[in-house]
A and B are shown apart, each in its own frame.
Chain A
């Protein structure tokens, strides 16, 4: 592993200056960064550990909003009573991810920035990978693409964004407060990750000197009737083959609003507005739910080995909608 310097931050002041001056990377739980440093894929020369900064590990439940500090652990957020009650899609996206050990370590902001599990990316220089080494090519395009994207891919990269939490956040129109040399700004989680295009090594719109401080989730009429439905190769502790984050506002069985985001099948968290629109004003029954699933996957571009995800994903969206509807206070 490449040697690095290690510094511990006690406040957010000055972190961006250190990042600008040295290219230092922020270290939180370390479950992605340290993992990839062991593989020689991440090679930072400097780390700034932010986990000692006070005040970033709180969850606040306001009337119309849940606010998560960047350093809240996945396990704490997944078990928080207000999160479980007001937005089960969020709690489930966290409790169905990773293992209890990793959930005790990984933070909510770090989780958003986790990197792809594409084996060609992780397994090093014997495989071309435009994300790891820009311009080298993509081994997945003609390779084993069972785990690769049906949405948002390019000729440069079809690596799937692997996270669950960001998918749930995207469904609920969450935002992040970001701090850097330009001061504070707020970004929509749905726009945080870039499409790979010709630059798959650039994964988010964050500047190198920016750090996520808070994650804000509006929870008004939408939230309670929600679920994160995750289909995996095994029952637990695996990345999604396909997942659906769904939130509904129902009025006497009729859909007033639907939100649907897909995980495990796209290069970034993937909202499907056409499927949401198809449900609006409809009575939610199994047939309508399945039709929404079909609309959600209508534009899918499967490769050689991942075509099964069209049928699997269609059913997952439908099942998620029916589960969320069960939780509606006014069915």
Chain B
């Protein structure tokens, strides 16, 4: 993202415009709740550090735990999970919603966390691979099935595959190999472990009662 950051000149220009416009927003709107505004100053291009007063405060749940935190309005749910909450299971593959490595559940549905603005998580609940089972409990049937069927090689896509696969079964889309392939098409495995992945999902679907 660093190459897209505005030059210092542009940034100061944006600051003045935005402050004025934010006031306009406050005057003009009824029914629009201004929950924050998002000027940030990047300390280094690769690690934007938001000035606290410019950040948004959001309240949401992650793996059953209530969280209140300050986020850069530009941040994705994926960035917040990985960089601020140390939940590094969800992976950044393409960062454009094309590969599925970042798949988590929000309010019980699978989403691409890289294209989910963290700001939109207010009042919502996220489930990541870390919260799929209690930390000291047995593996989830889907995790166990991925091991049993050798459904990975490098493993980078695996947390996203497993979160998508759990949703696939819960949605009732795991009744045949063809249906699994269709409803898992948003998760790319560049090692090509698809045969094992499909077998694992068929297996886990039975265990999960799908």
| Residues of A that sit less than 8 Å from B by CB | 1-15, 17-18, 20-24, 27, 30-31, 34-35, 37-40, 45-49, 51, 75, 98-102, 104-105, 235-237
* Chain A hits for B31, CB < 8 A: 9-15
Query: Is residue B81 contacting chain A, with contact meaning CB distance below 8 A?
Result: no
B182:A236 contact, CB within 8 angstroms: yes
B32:A7 contact, CB within 8 angstroms: yes
Query: Is residue B197 contacting chain A, with contact meaning CB distance below 8 A?
Result: no
* Chain A hits for B173, CB < 8 A: 100
A17:B97 contact, CB within 8 angstroms: no
List of 5 A-B pairs having minimum Cβ-Cβ separation, nearest first: A99-B186, A11-B31, A5-B37, A236-B185, A40-B4
B14:A3 contact, CB within 8 angstroms: yes
B25:A101 contact, CB within 8 angstroms: no
* Chain B hits for A39, CB < 8 A: 4, 96
| Residues of B that sit less than 8 Å from A by CB | 1, 3-6, 10-11, 14, 17-18, 21-22, 24-25, 27-40, 54, 56, 73-74, 76, 95-97, 100, 103, 109-112, 115-117, 119-120, 122, 164, 167-168, 171, 173, 181-183, 185-187
* Chain A hits for B182, CB < 8 A: 235-236
Partner of A9, one of B21, B32, B97, B185: B32
* Chain B hits for A9, CB < 8 A: 29, 31-33
Give Cα A237–Cα B189 distance, bound, in whole angstroms. Answer: 14
Smallest CB separation, B190 vs chain A (Å): 14
B164:A4 contact, CB within 8 angstroms: no
Smallest CB separation, A103 vs chain B (Å): 9
* Chain A hits for B28, CB < 8 A: 14, 17-18, 20-22
* Chain A hits for B167, CB < 8 A: 100
Can you spell out 5 A-B residue pairs with CB atoms less than 8 angstroms apart? A4-B73, A39-B96, A49-B119, A51-B120, A100-B185
B37:A6 contact, CB within 8 angstroms: yes
B25:A46 contact, CB within 8 angstroms: yes
B32:A6 contact, CB within 8 angstroms: no
Smallest CB separation, A24 vs chain B (Å): 7
B117:A27 contact, CB within 8 angstroms: yes
Smallest CB separation, A76 vs chain B (Å): 10
* Chain B hits for A1, CB < 8 A: 1, 4-5, 74
- Which residue among B24, B31, B103, B183 has the maximum number of chain A CB atoms within 10 Å of its CB? B31
- Which residue among B5, B97, B110 has the maximum number of chain A CB atoms within 10 Å of its CB? B97
B111:A5 contact, CB within 8 angstroms: no
B185:A237 contact, CB within 8 angstroms: yes
Give Cα A237–Cα B117 distance, bound, in whole angstroms. Answer: 23
Residue on A nearest B56 in the bound complex, by CB: A6
* Chain B hits for A48, CB < 8 A: 32
Overall SS of chain B's interface: mixed
B36:A3 contact, CB within 8 angstroms: no
B21:A6 contact, CB within 8 angstroms: no
* Chain A hits for B30, CB < 8 A: 13-14, 17
* Chain B hits for A23, CB < 8 A: 21
A105:B111 contact, CB within 8 angstroms: yes
Give Cα A1–Cα B21 distance, bound, in whole angstroms. Answer: 19
B18:A3 contact, CB within 8 angstroms: yes
Residue on B nearest A51 in the bound complex, by CB: B120
Partner of A101, one of B11, B29, B117, B186: B186
Smallest CB separation, B56 vs chain A (Å): 6
Partner of A31, one of B33, B115, B171: B115
Smallest CB separation, B9 vs chain A (Å): 13
Give Cα A51–Cα B32 distance, bound, in whole angstroms. Answer: 12
* Chain B hits for A8, CB < 8 A: 32-35, 122
Partner of B35, one of A4, A6, A237: A6
* Chain A hits for B186, CB < 8 A: 98-102, 237
Residue on B nearest A20 in the bound complex, by CB: B28
Give Cα A197–Cα B115 distance, bound, in whole angstroms. Answer: 32
Give Cα A46–Cα B21 distance, bound, in whole angstroms. Answer: 9
B21:A21 contact, CB within 8 angstroms: yes
- Which residue among B28, B29, B112 has the maximum number of chain A CB atoms within 10 Å of its CB? B29
Give Cα A236–Cα B185 distance, bound, in whole angstroms. Answer: 6
Smallest CB separation, A192 vs chain B (Å): 24
Smallest CB separation, A164 vs chain B (Å): 15
Smallest CB separation, A209 vs chain B (Å): 11
Smallest CB separation, B50 vs chain A (Å): 9
Give Cα A105–Cα B56 distance, bound, in whole angstroms. Answer: 22
Contacts A1-B1, A12-B31 hold; do A101 and B110 have CB atoms under 8 A apart? Answer: yes
Smallest CB separation, B22 vs chain A (Å): 5
A99:B100 contact, CB within 8 angstroms: yes
Give Cα A18–Cα B21 distance, bound, in whole angstroms. Answer: 9
Smallest CB separation, B25 vs chain A (Å): 6
